[in-house]
Chain A
Amino acid sequence: MKCTYLNWDAARGWSSPPNLTADARPPMSQLVLYFAARETLAANPVHADLVARFPGARIVGCSTDGQIGRDDVTDAGVQAVAMSFASTRIKVASGNVIACSDSFVCGAKLGLELASPDLAGVFVLSDGLMVNGSRLATGLSSAVGRSVAVSGGLAGDGDRFGETWVAADAIPAKGVIVAVGFYGEDIRFGHGSAGGWNVFGPRRTITRAIDNVLFELDGQPALDLYERYLGSEEAALLPGSALLFPLSIRDPDAPDRDVVRTVLAVDRQARTMTFAGDVPQGWSAQLMRGQFDQLSEASMQAARQASATHTDAANGDCLAILVSCIGRRLLLGQRVADEVDAAVQGLASGTGLLGFYSYGEIAPHAVSGVPQLHNQTMTVTTIRERAA
């Protein structure tokens, strides 16, 4: 596998690595991934530029809450990687949530398109606001089989929560889900996901909820609790500011398997909060808070986990795709680069990287291996081909 990293900004246009001259191009790229803010995608022909630059490649990407590069996190510009494989084959499946209201069914449809005995892994990018990420992950996984690792993330829209866009070999648009299947014996994936947040305060019970809409905790409107903890200044910045207090939820029948949920929307009239995944009634819930150094430490752990699975020698480059959560960026503020630095330290040396801040991360559960939606985590997917 050979990776060519590119970035674009309004002042300088597309960067090219020094070796990318017309007569010394790397082998034909089969897959291009790119990440950019929605306004960048709206105002510039990013997708068309990449199509012209990488003829024949499948080109997928999404809108973000910031792009992750090796050195820093930026809002402006585009981060992209073009991948050419020695032996791995690629297939792209896409769907539209508007035509398919159930996220599980949508995921299963894409999974069925990709399913094959030699399917080794799937990377998925999804609309971040119109999709129930936990159901999407379950649907995909049910169709491709438990042995196929599924990872990826939900597109972002900064702290506006307006529209999220995904490009599935076409101009980016809302309501789109794209899944890339990687086929063959030589492709290898590694995954790591970690949060670093701590629970605090009393454990509450989810007394009223429907799917991913939370109405009440301990009989009180959930939004009241958040507004009280945020204070009036930060409560005015809802739903974004609710990300500063993620919710840890757990099934009373499986108390050791807690899940973290991120808020996507609030309804101030109805006093409800909509989360990126299900918040089942009857489960317990506890607020969480984060500290800078613990989030960075978790980021390093995630990168280590994702690198640790690679034991055989690589054929060419190793790529790490970092999908981190908007909630972490909100808390870390200008220190957001710390968690990227920490991830770089956790990766095997020589690993290239790019990534984005998202509305939800998808990766296999560390113990069960079942793909699921994670929130408020740094989630790392490493990809490489094994030496023949």
Chain B
Amino acid sequence: MHRLIAKQIERARRDDGRIDIDQLIDLVSAAYAEVDRDQARSNRSILLMAEELEDLNASLEQ
């Protein structure tokens, strides 16, 4: 089992030992959103960095 889902199950465990399914779904859903955001941020950084390096190159060539 992935360590994150193991941790999410622990976080969703209630005092009586049962798992709160609604809470677990919220956690899993939020984790998917975190991964999406992380990926979007990485892609954005790569694009901007490439742009900046191109600009730098162009100004050096002039």
State the A residues within 8 Å of B (CB): 11, 71-72, 200-202, 228-231, 234, 244, 289, 331, 333-335, 337-338, 341
A228 proximity list for chain B (CB < 8 A):
48
A231 CA to B11 CA, complexed, in Å: 31
A200 in contact with B49 (CB, 8 Å): yes
Closest to B8 in A: A334
> Would B30 and A72 count as touching, CB distance under 8 A?
no
When C-beta atoms are compared, the residue in chain B nearest to A287 turns out to be: B45
A337 contact set on B, CB distance < 8 A = 7
Tally chain B residues at the interface, Cβ within 8 Å.
Answer: 23
Q: Which residues of B contact A200 (CB under 8 A)?
A: 45, 49
Knowing A202-B56, A234-B37, A244-B41, the reply to whether A334 touches B49 (Cβ < 8 A) is no
Q: List 8 A-B contacts (CB under 8 A).
A: A71-B10, A72-B11, A201-B52, A229-B44, A289-B45, A335-B4, A337-B7, A338-B3
Q: Does B20 contact A (CB under 8 A)?
A: no
A71 to B10, alpha carbons, bound, how many Å?
10
Query: Within 8 Å of chain A (Cβ to Cβ): is B31?
Result: yes
Query: Knowing that A200-B45, A289-B42 are A-B contacts, what are 16 other residue pairs whose CB atoms are under 8 Å apart, sorted by A's residue number?
Result: A200-B49, A202-B52, A202-B53, A202-B56, A228-B48, A229-B45, A231-B40, A231-B41, A234-B41, A333-B38, A334-B7, A334-B31, A334-B34, A335-B4, A338-B3, A341-B3
Task: Let me know if B27 is at the binding interface, CB within 8 A.
Answer: yes
Contacts of B15 in A (CB 8 A): 11
The 7 closest A-B pairs by CB, nearest first: A333-B34, A201-B49, A334-B31, A337-B7, A231-B44, A202-B52, A229-B48
B30 and chain A: residue at smallest CB distance: A334
The complex places the Cα of A309 from the Cα of B41 at a distance, in Å, of: 39
Verify A334–B52 contact, CB threshold 8 A. Answer: no
- Per-position contact with A for B8-45: 1 when CB-CB < 8 Å, else 0? 10110001000000000001001100100110111011
- Complex Cα distance, B4 from A121, in Å, reads 37
Chain A residues whose CB sits within 8 angstroms of the CB of B53 once the complex forms: 202
Q: Within 8 Å CB of A234, what residues of B?
A: 37, 41
Q: Which residues of A contact B30 (CB under 8 A)?
A: 333-334
A72 touches B44 (CB 8 A): no
Q: Give Cα distance in the complex from A341 to B34, angstroms.
A: 20
Max chain A C-beta neighbours (<10 A), residue from B10, B42, B52, B53:
B52
Instruction: Tell me which residues across on chain B come within 8 A of A333, comparing CB atoms.
Output: 30-31, 34, 38
Cα-based distance from A371 to B29 in the complex (angstroms): 42
A338 to B11, CA, bound (A): 14
User: Once bound together, how far apart are the Cα atoms of A231 and B44, in whole Å?
Assistant: 8
Contacts of B34 in A (CB 8 A): 333-334
The closest CB in chain B to the CB of A11 belongs to B15
Contact B7 A72 (CB under 8 A): yes
Shortest Cβ gap from B41 to chain A (Å): 7
Minimum C-beta distance from A226 to chain B (A): 11
Closest to A332 in B: B34
What residues on A are CB-neighbors of B3 within 8 Å?
Answer: 338, 341
Tell me the nearest residue of chain B to A292, going by C-beta: B38
**Smallest CB-CB separation from A333: which chain B residue?**
B34
Instruction: Give the complex CA separation of A338 and B31 in angstroms.
Output: 14
CA distance A234 to B10 in the complex (A): 29
CB distance from B2 to the nearest CB of A (A): 10
What A residues does B52 contact at CB under 8 A?
A: 201-202
Q: Is B10's CB under 8 angstroms from A72's CB?
A: yes
- List, in ascending order, chain B residues with CB within 8 A of A338's CB: 3
In angstroms, Cα B47 to Cα A229, docked, is 10
Task: Return chain B residues, CB-CB under 8 Å to A334.
Answer: 4, 7-8, 27, 30-31, 34
- In the assembled complex, the CB of A229 is this many whole angstroms from the nearest CB of chain B, namely 6
